[in-house]
Amino acid sequence: MRINLCYLFKQHRIPDLENAERFTEMVQLRKLHDRDPRHPVLMDKIAAKRLVADALGEDWVVPIRWQGADLPETIPFACPAILKARHGCNQYRVLRTAPTYREWEQIRRTASRWMRREYGGWLDEWGYRDTPRGLLAEPLLNPDGALPVDYKIYVFGGQATHVQVHLDRAGRHRWVLHDRDWRQLVPGADAPLPPVSLSSMLAAAEQLASGYDFLRVDFYEVEGRPLFGEFCLYPGSGLDPFAADWVDFELGALWRAARASTDIL
């Protein structure tokens, strides 16, 4: 009932969970039925780094400057940096310079709320349930302190098919969806250039997502070098509409075909 109501509120229709054809409906089915024991590992930002380092090498992974369960009274890592929750999404604070005492106390209170709350429960994103709660800090990747462009690669049945580019995440956040040959599915005002390392990203995403019916693998590019960002099982929790309705059906068909071929419920 909660899934139906959330989907209705955001998509303005009830999801067809008996004969799902849309990508956004397939996300709802994953939330309801997919209990793959590998999923909590993928959602754990620290465990995911280890997985990627083992598969691709340490040079693909953004280093961890600090990790723990509670922020101490004084900042334990150098700035500029980004502080994240280990166990959730969109829980982060960017520290371009060392915070004042008052600023640090506010950050500590925010991080404490992250630690108290179970992530993913309201949206029924089961993969987060057994992910250990924690905090980690990473260096900012751009010397000017700006957040890097996000390249989110959709992989169906081991085949990287689409690249979603997220722009200006700290400001006027928007995204553009391309196929793997960098053709925009729905042309708009933004026309980002492909990353220099696109082919390496696509190959790495396919290697990391092998054995899954669908997995999104996210990357950054710094000075032409690709870096792993995170894994995603539930893009937008299946609640964000696409720029055109046909895209939802096209990606849904890819997921359905991959699920049939990998024999995953």
Please state the φ and ψ torsions of residue 262, each to the nearest 5 degrees: -100, 0
Instruction: Divide the 265 residues of the chain into consecutive groups of 10 and give the mean pLDDT of each group.
Output: 95 96 98 96 98 98 97 96 94 95 97 90 91 96 85 98 90 91 95 97 98 98 96 97 96 96 60
What CATH number is given to the structural domain containing 157?
3.30.470
On whether both 240 and 135 belong to a single domain, the answer is: no
The residue range of the domain holding 156 is 1-33+144-265
On whether both 188 and 120 belong to a single domain, the answer is: no
pLDDT of residue 264: 47
pLDDT of residue 144: 78
On whether both 187 and 242 belong to a single domain, the answer is: yes
Last residue of a domain, one of 141, 168, 190: 141
Last residue of a domain, one of 141, 157, 172: 141
On whether both 109 and 193 belong to a single domain, the answer is: no
Last residue of a domain, one of 106, 141, 176: 141
Residue 184 is assigned to a structural domain of this protein: yes
Q: How many domains does the structure of the chain reveal?
A: 2
Residue 13 is assigned to a structural domain of this protein: yes
On whether both 181 and 232 belong to a single domain, the answer is: yes
pLDDT of residue 265: 42
pLDDT of residue 263: 56
pLDDT of residue 119: 86
On whether both 95 and 222 belong to a single domain, the answer is: no
